[in-house]
Amino acid sequence: MRKLSAAVFVINIIYSLNSFASPDIQPNMVHEKVLKNGLKVLVKEDRRAPVMVSQIWYKVGASYEHDGITGLSHVLEHMMFQGTDNLEPGEFSKIIAENGGRENAFTGADYTAYFQTMEASRLEVSMKLEAERMHKLKLQEKEFVKELQVVMEERRMRTEDKPQGQTYEYFKALAYTSSPYRNPIIGWMQDLEDMQVADLAAWYKQWYSPNNATLVIVGDVDKEQVFSLAEQYFAAIPAAVFKPVKKRIEVPQLGIRRSIIKQKAQVPYLLMGFKVPVLNSVDDDADIYALEVLSGILSGGNSARLASNIIRGSQVASSASAGYDMNARLPTLFLFDGSPAQGYTAAQLEEALLDQVKQLQTNLVEEKELSRIKAQVIASSVYEKDSNFYQGMQLGMLETVGVGWQKADEYVDKVKTVTAKQLRDVAKKYLIEDHLTVVHMQPEEISNAN
């Protein structure tokens, strides 16, 4: 517990039905304003407690990087706490702390985001500081050398010494060919070793500007006041000229891919993924919502199929789940993962999971089962309102990946329209062997553990 992190970082989102929902029951309006320099400001007033969260989202992350510079977005995120023209290294955090705030940042494949949670009257403190580091970051060699060591320690902790973490890294590199999703968010160790402070300076210059950012404020705030503060602190920052981002669309997969990853581990582990589209990659979104519900049918709770059929029923799995991130910027994977129960192999678990897929392709899901998933989605959309932070995440993420924050409002209604036939159709259309990648993690003897 109490992990200190300049970077919480979103790796493997394997649950998805808790995701994006509409303010059905209590319509908290979202207010939008775009400043002349392109900064988009979103405000959601929620007056339950005298607090607010301020998040600034930049359209840059690991999927914007290319080979040789992987991990750059994330290291830059760390450096954003290490001083600006007017702030000493660490001073940003010190000021937030003195104002009773909690702060952090996270880097994903498609975004880099910074946030402060504070008592509501401190909004101005956070805005002023974020405006400062949007255009006045001071990258210093001494701080960089030290912070790079910190990031390498972070990588060792999350990946090198975590058998499942490392397996996931190799899995992605096998599944994707030309998509930038093949690279780890934290970067390959060699790329971290080769990184120079000049690389960071160029990256910062390229991506950190008001017209590449979204400011999201949720809490006990007044929208007009937020807009006027945003104007006051951000309006003077010049917009940058952007070249269009390269599309880098994944080439078609022409047959199943599989691999074995050996790890110093005790328990075998299986990862499988089918190539699937996302909201941002299609015009007609019907299939996307169907895939979303499909992941719920498989993995949305203890009554869902994986828990029911292969953890409890056949007892082939000790754990198993399915997941789909419909809000990725680029086409992604419909994932399965799990560990076989004692006495079963990863191959047997694979067979059991594929059998579940086959049933979805063959038989219609029962109406009762479908409505249970929908009920969970509707309830979750209310539960999410208990957290300002989560509400801000929804808006910031949808906006940053290119889908648009308005999609949050459609989510529940779109999920409600999904039919059993659509589920069978998307299972047949997308969950096909030629588009599948399978990795078995094989435990190797740990020789010197006692």
Partner 1 sequence: MRINLAILLGFVTLLVSTHSVAVPVIQHWKTDNGASVYFVPTNGLPILDAQLVFDAGSTRDANKNGVAALTSALLDQGAAGQSAQQIAEKLESVGAQMGVSTSRDFTSISYRSLTDDEALQTSWGVLNDVLNKPDFPAVGFKRERKRTLLGIKKRQESPATLAQLALYREIYNNHPYANAIQGVEETVSALEVIDLKQFYQQYYVANNLTVVLVGGVTQEQAKKMVQELVGSLPAGKKASLLPEVNADIEGKTIHQEYPSQQTHLMYSLPVLKQNDPDYFPLYVGNHILGGSGFSSRIVKEIREERGLAYSAYSYFRPMRENGPFLIGLQTRNEKVTEASTAVKQTLQTFIQQGPTDEELTVAKKNIMGGFALKLDSNKKLLANVVGIVTSGVPLDYLNSYTQKVAAVTQEQIRRAFQQRVMMNNMVMVTVGQSVEQKTNVD
Q: Taking CB under 8 A as the criterion, which residues in 316-335 touch partner 1?
A: 318-319
Beta carbon nearer to partner 1, 81 or 336: 81
Looking only at the bridges linking them, the beta strands covering 317-323 and 436-444 are unpaired
User: Which amino acid type is present at position 376?
Assistant: Q
H helices present in 384-445, as ranges: 388-401, 407-417, 420-430
Shortest reach from residue 48's CB to partner 1, in Å: 5
Q: Taking CB under 8 A as the criterion, which residues in 284-313 touch partner 1?
A: 300-303, 307-308, 311-312
Residue 418, burial from CB neighbour count under 10 angstroms (0-12, 13-18, 19+): buried
Tell which one of 30, 151, 215, 352 touches partner 1 (CB under 8 A): 151
Q: Work out whether 117 is an interface residue with partner 1 (CB under 8 A).
A: yes
Alpha-carbon gap, residue 227 to 165, rounded angstroms = 42
Tell which one of 59, 74, 122, 407 touches partner 1 (CB under 8 A): 122
Alpha-carbon gap, residue 358 to 353, rounded angstroms = 9
Beta carbon nearer to partner 1, 284 or 445: 445
Tell which one of 99, 253, 348, 359 touches partner 1 (CB under 8 A): 99
DSSP state of 113: E
Q: Work out whether 161 is an interface residue with partner 1 (CB under 8 A).
A: yes
Q: Work out whether 429 is an interface residue with partner 1 (CB under 8 A).
A: no
What are the residues facing 437 on neighbouring strands?
A: 257, 273
8 A C-beta contact, residue 91 and residue 249? no
8 A C-beta contact, residue 405 and residue 30? yes
Shortest reach from residue 402's CB to partner 1, in Å: 30
Cα dihedral value 38, 39, 40, 42, nearest 10: -160
Shortest reach from residue 82's CB to partner 1, in Å: 9
Tell which one of 63, 70, 183, 376 touches partner 1 (CB under 8 A): 376
Shortest reach from residue 411's CB to partner 1, in Å: 15
Q: What is the 3-state secondary structure (H, E, C) of 120-144?
A: HHHHHHHHHHHHHHHHCECCCHHHH
8 A C-beta contact, residue 173 and residue 333? no
Q: Work out whether 121 is an interface residue with partner 1 (CB under 8 A).
A: yes
Distant-in-sequence, close-in-space partners of 312: CB < 8 Å, separation ≥ 6: none
Q: Work out whether 45 is an interface residue with partner 1 (CB under 8 A).
A: no
Beta carbon nearer to partner 1, 332 or 388: 388
∠ CA 43-244-187, rounded to 5°: 80
Shortest reach from residue 29's CB to partner 1, in Å: 16
**x/- binding map, residues 333-372, to partner 1, per CB under 8 A?**
------x-xx-------------------------x--xx
Number of residues that bind partner 1 (CB under 8 A): 93
Q: Work out whether 136 is an interface residue with partner 1 (CB under 8 A).
A: yes
Which residue do the tokens 């399965």 mark? 336
8 A C-beta contact, residue 125 and residue 87? no
Q: What is the 3-state secondary structure (H, E, C) of 170-201?
A: HHHHHHCCCCHHHCCCCCCHHHHHHCCHHHHH
Shortest reach from residue 244's CB to partner 1, in Å: 33
**x/- binding map, residues 237-276, to partner 1, per CB under 8 A?**
---------------------------xxxx---------
Instruction: Tell which residue, 308, 321, 330, has the closest CA to residue 16.
Output: 321
Shortest reach from residue 202's CB to partner 1, in Å: 23
For the chain, report the end-to-end CA distance as a whole number of angstroms. Answer: 25
Shortest reach from residue 318's CB to partner 1, in Å: 5
Tell which one of 21, 42, 43, 51 touches partner 1 (CB under 8 A): 51
Beta carbon nearer to partner 1, 364 or 375: 375
Q: Work out whether 75 is an interface residue with partner 1 (CB under 8 A).
A: no
Shortest reach from residue 59's CB to partner 1, in Å: 25
Alpha-carbon gap, residue 54 to 43, rounded angstroms = 9
Beta carbon nearer to partner 1, 149 or 190: 149
Q: Taking CB under 8 A as the criterion, which residues in 178-207 touch partner 1?
A: none
The interface region with partner 1, picked from 57-65, 93-101, 107-115, 249-257 by CB under 8 A, is 93-101
Shortest reach from residue 263's CB to partner 1, in Å: 8
